[in-house]
Amino acid sequence: MGKVFWRKMRNQHFSDIAFMAVVYLGLTFALVACAYPVIYVVSASFSSSRAVASGEMWLFPKEISLEGYRLVFQNKTVYMGFVNSVFYVIMSVLIQLMTTMMAGFAFSRRELPGRTWFNLFFVITMFFGGGLIPTYLVYLKLGLVNTRWALLLPGISFSNIIIARTSISALPEDLFDCSKLDGCSYIRYLFRIVVPLSKPILAVFSLYTAVGVWNSYFGAMIYLRDQTKYPLQIFLRTILILNSTIDLEADLSSEDAVRMMQVFATMKYALIVVSTAPIICVYPFVQKHFVKGVMVGSLKG
């Protein structure tokens, strides 16, 4: 393989070689910039808090310790948050796919009466929002506050509907005409023909929605009062952010303050790994469709 490589290089013009060298250098830099934080976090999760705090651990684990994982897995809130997050992801993806495909299909049909007006109503929502307080008031009046629906319903995005519409419009109209001749209704056409042919965009929507919902926390902090419904990210956030804002001198005796800081410092990296791993595991299953699906919204030749 080395010989083939050098033979190819010999046949290249010098400017091409230089260009490739710069490209590879840039990509290497980007790889290090992206991969190093991930490697650091994973290594830190398997290292002692002393090694991490002192700076001795900078790439590979030092003073291997599973104390962080032990603290994470023995904490019931982590399980509760994990289950909640999984629930929100699955339900949000299902709702997102259902509504996006149905709306996208409806918009793709030229015979939809009032299509222009509906389009206008939806487009307005892309540019204007009510803000936090009016939105909260709407949720309150609809009885969504402190319910799981407050986190599930708001995920519907018109930009995804536009992408779905574009993709469905690209399907041959003859397909629909033939189906209609055979007595196929709109609903049946959507679910039996359009959806199976739209796997790439379904994969894209699923992944984007799953990642977005998995990482979100703000809606839960604002609309949920019952902490048994909180997703995992809230718990992660309190560990990472509030740990540094504890008024140690006023609040606690020194020993309590140190004990709390030690616990949080130890479980911090393990909790990041535990909360990130599921999403990383999902990606390989959708990658095949993801590359195709990402280009759906682009211009076609």
Partner 1 sequence: MKKKEVKRKLFSVLLTLCMTAGLIGCGQKQTGTEQTAGDPEPAAQQVQESPETSTQPEEGKAETGERPTLRIMAAENPPGYDLPTRINENDTVLWLEDQLGIDLEFELVPADVMAERITLAITSNDLPDIFYFFNGSVNKISASDRVKYGKAGLLLPIEDMLEESFPNLYAYVTEEEPDMLPKLYEADGHIYGTPYIQTLAHMSHPTKLWTNRMFLDALEMDMPETLDEYEAYLKGVIENDVNGNGDPNDEIGLMGIANDTTWYKFFMNAFVPTVNRTFAADLYIDNETDQVLCAQVQDGYREGLRWIHSLWEQGLVYEGSLTLTMDQAKTVYMSEDPAIGSLGFYAPFLLDQTCTAPTYALLEGQVPLSNDGQPAINMLVGDEPQVGRACGVITSACKDVEAAARFLDFHYTREGNNILTAGPDYEEEYVAAEPGELNAVGKQAYWRDYKVTQDDLWTSNHALPNFQIRFQPEDLYFAGVRDESAPATVLQDVTEILKKYESQEYSSISPSVSVSEENLTAVGDIQTQITSYNTQWETDFIVGNKSLDDDWDEYTDGLYGLGLQTVIDAYQEGYEVFLSNAG
CB 220 within 8 A of CB 151: yes
* Residues sharing a CB contact under 8 Å with residue 231, sequence separation 6 or more, in sequence order: 81, 84, 85, 88, 151, 214, 216, 217, 220
Q: How far apart are CA 36 and CA 30, in angstroms?
A: 10
Options 25-33, 35-43, 92-100, 226-234: segment touching partner 1 (CB under 8 A): 226-234
The residue among 93, 96, 117 whose CA lies nearest residue 164 is 96
DSSP-assigned letters across all residues of 85-142: HHHHHHHHHHHHHHHHHHHHHHHH-TT-TTHHHHHHHHHHHHH----HHHHHHHHHHT
Contact status: 114 vs partner 1 (CB under 8 A): yes
Question: Of 140, 197, 280, 291, which lies in the binding site for partner 1, with binding defined by CB under 8 A?
Answer: 140
Interface residue with partner 1 among 235, 270, 275, 293 (CB under 8 A) is 235
What is the x/- site pattern for partner 1, positions 25-64, by CB under 8 A? -----------------------xxx--xxxx--------
Query: Binding partner 1 by CB under 8 A: which of 40, 67, 73, 75?
Result: 75
Residue 166 interacts with partner 1 (CB under 8 A)?
no
Between CA 235 and CA 81 the distance in angstroms is 7
Tell me the per-residue interface mask from 142 to 161 with partner 1, x by CB under 8 A, - otherwise.
xxxxxx--------------
Q: Which residues bind partner 1 (CB under 8 A)?
A: 48-50, 53-56, 75-77, 80, 111-114, 117, 132-133, 136-137, 140-147, 221-222, 225-228, 230, 234-235, 237-239, 241-243, 245-264
